[in-house]
Every structure is written in structure tokens, then in C-alpha cells.
Copies of this chain bind each other. A is one copy, B any other.
Amino acid sequence: MFYHDKQLQYTVRVDTPSPVFAKMLQQAIGGVEGEIRVCLQYLFQSFGARGPAKYRDMLMETGTEEIGHIQMLATAVAMNLEGSPAYLQEEMAKADPLLAATLGGMEPRQFLSAGMSALAADANGVPFNGSHVYASGNLAADMYSNVAAEATGRVLACRLFDMTDDPGMKDMLRFLITRDTMHQQQWLAVIEELGGHPGSLPIPNTFDQAQEVEGLSYTFLSTGVAGVEAPTGRWTSGPSLDGRGEFTTMVNRPLGQEPVLAPPIPSGYAELQQMTDEGATR
């Protein structure tokens, strides 16, 4: 169950409101790297957690923290849309080139649909999409999904940090960047608890590797045509990261057949000219 108080987790201050920056901040709210996604992702991982309770509990702790990050960013959007009369009040009624420019830098729905507030959408106004809430039921897969989310999230926050010279906004972003630092650590620390690469790979580590096709588990397949040299690196030679094999390189060649499908069934209503006896073979 959940509770709230009235303050923000960290100060949100806007010294010079910028509708342009209000648009950019949307990416950190409803974008694929944004806070709605990590909030729901950690909470759904927690709600569906099976296995040791401490991971379930940790996910709920941080999922709850993230609700407050949505709140901070939504507040920042609303504040960036305030008190900028040149943009919004006086010139609203002038359909001139300058207005085109000004409005072009804004997210129109923050005004049209939300009356100068934040949306559950990204910087282009594309609504948040729940398919980004990864909660696979496999702890290691989920931890890497979380690292990916916090890594792209911190990259985004750093880019936003460079786009503004507003001291208040810079301060808020510093805070969010700082928390992303910790959250990256947190999910990778679970991997370490699971035994690092040898203990967690390949994910899932519960599938019997004896079932794998021999000779292809640690082989880099090169798909270049003749004359294209395969790039070499840590992944082409030496011991595999899980310590269970050796990396090799191989030129990719078909191991399978030319696929031939049966002719169409009558109720599929293909064209008459497709109804050949020979199937897909001329």
C-alpha cells in the first residue's frame, strides 16, 4: 500500500521559464527512457516477484522513489510554462512568422490539452506505452532491463542538463543524474550477488546447456560477403565470460533448407494463379 506527503523529494526551481525546455522534459516523463516507465517497471517486477523476498522489497523501495521523480518532472514542466508572457499570453493571438517559431519549439498539447501542464507522453507527444514495462519473471533479465533503463535515462538527463542554463533546472537534473548513478549500481549489484557472469549467464541459467546446438554457443558468426573482414575483439577469441567455453569466429553459411510452403487452402482465397499443385516450387 502507498502513502504520500506534500513535499517534493528534491527542490524544483525554475529561474527563467522556457516552454521549449518544458517540451524537452517530457522525454524524461513519458519517453522510453523516462520515469513513468521505470516507476511501473520496478513496481510490476515487485508485484510479480517470485524467489527471495529481498529483491521484491528492494524493487518496491525504488519503484516508490520513482513516483516522486515523475512528480518532480511534472512540476518542472508546469513551472517552465509559467510567467513567460511574450510566448504565451500577449502573442498567442498573432499568427505571424515569429509565433510560428515560438510555437514550433513548444509541445502544443501542453497548452491545448493540459492547460500548461505535463502530459503522460514523450517529447514528441507520443503517449507513454505500457509495452516498455519489462518484468520478465527472470531476475537477471530484469536487472539488465533495469540497467538499460537507468543507463539511457542518465544519458538523457545529461543531455537535458546541457540544453539548459537555468540554475534551478540544472540543480534538479543534477539530483536525478545522481540517483541514476546509484540505480545503475543497484541492479548490477544484484548480478554480483547472483555470482556475476559465471553465476548468471547464460540468462536464463536454468536451461540445460547440453541442449544447445554444439559449436555455436560461443561463436561469432560473420555475415559479410566475400571480401568483408569480420571485426575482432574480446568476443572473437579467449575464454567466454561465463567461463564455460572459448570464443571463436566462423563465416555464416546456411545450415537449413530452401523453405517451400504448401499451396494456399481454398478458404484462404488466394488468387487462382497461386493454386498450383507444386506448392511454391516452379
Contact = CB atoms under 8 A, between A and B. Distances in A.
A217 B181 contact: yes
B259 A8 contact: yes
B163 A255 contact: no
Number of copies: 6
A193 B114 CA distance: 22
Interface in A229-258: 230-235, 240-242, 247, 252, 254-258
Contacts of A211: 161, 174, 177
Contacts of A57: 6, 230-231
Interface size class of A (residues with CB under 8 A): 35 or more
Interface string A15-56: 010111101100100111100100010011001111111111
Nearest to A160: B112
Nearest first, the 9 A-B pairs at minimum CB distance are A115-B137, A104-B104, A48-B117, A51-B274, A124-B125, A8-B256, A128-B130, A100-B105, A7-B254
10 contacts: A6-B60, A44-B119, A47-B71, A48-B261, A52-B282, A79-B261, A101-B105, A127-B132, A179-B221, A186-B235
